[in-house]
Amino acid sequence: MYGAILGDIIGSPYEFDRGNKTKDFPFFDKGATFTDDSVMTIAVAEALMCAINTGVIDDEEATKTLIIDMMHKWGHKYPDAGYGGRFYGWLHNSEREPYNSYGNGSAMRVAAAGWLFDDLETTRKVAAWTAEVTHNHPEGVKGADATASAIWLARHGSSKDEIRDFIVNEIGYDLSRTCDEIRPGYYHVESCQETVPEAITAFLEGTDFEDVIRTAVSLGGDCDTLTCIAGRSQRHITECLNT
């Protein structure tokens, strides 16, 4: 959670390609602030903890209802956090139906699914639920699955090579490009399929938490979401090494 929120805040001034594609930048710029990434990460965390505490976590529909309720609660509490247009409309729509999105919102909010459960199977199942309430396109679900799985694997002591192999072989993302290869032609894009692999690559290449964040920001693009996704996985690697 700390890694996700810190990543969001640090990356926020450079969103929409406002950085200069370098790792040399003020780590906490004066314009840094939390965005919808942090707000929805907290919303999903509260929903899943509530589902666990009330004993409904094995009930897909009950858990999804809690996720929707908490998203609306936190979204209305922070209405100007920078939501995408379709998600903002969903927050104010009484119907609350998913809208087949493959945007990276499903990946940036899923952190809690990666650290609340003891087994990877449950983690992946619940990660899919957190996506499907809005981002029920297969790519939207895939982005949440990959991010939560990377967090769970990091928590349980997997090496970065092992995490890479899992994401490639089990999730199906192509992680063959290096950050140096990604950086020149990368631009602001908000799809899972063009954000999550890049964020995971920054995580895999980074040497520590700060380096992961700097590497993700240096790619450009949707920096707050890149750093939110990359930072949460590195945070768990760092915690494992320090225990």
- For the chain, give the mean pLDDT: 93
Alpha carbon distances (Å) from 42 to 31, 94, 163, 173, 217: 21, 22, 25, 26, 22
What is the DSSP secondary-structure string of 162-181? HHHHHIIIII-----S-HHH
Over residues 161-214, the pLDDT tens digits come to: 999 999 999 999 999 999 999 999 999 999 999 999 999 999 999 999 999 999
Domains of the chain (ranges, CATH numbers): 2-241 (1.10.4080.10)
pLDDT score of 238 more than 70: no
Percent of the chain as helix, strand, coil, to the nearest 5: 65, 0, 35
The model carries a pTM of 0.93
State percent of the chain over pLDDT 90.
Answer: 82
Over residues 19-57, the pLDDT tens digits come to: 889 999 988 888 899 999 999 999 999 999 999 999 999
pLDDT score of 236 more than 60: no
Over residues 82-91, the pLDDT tens digits come to: 999 999 999 9
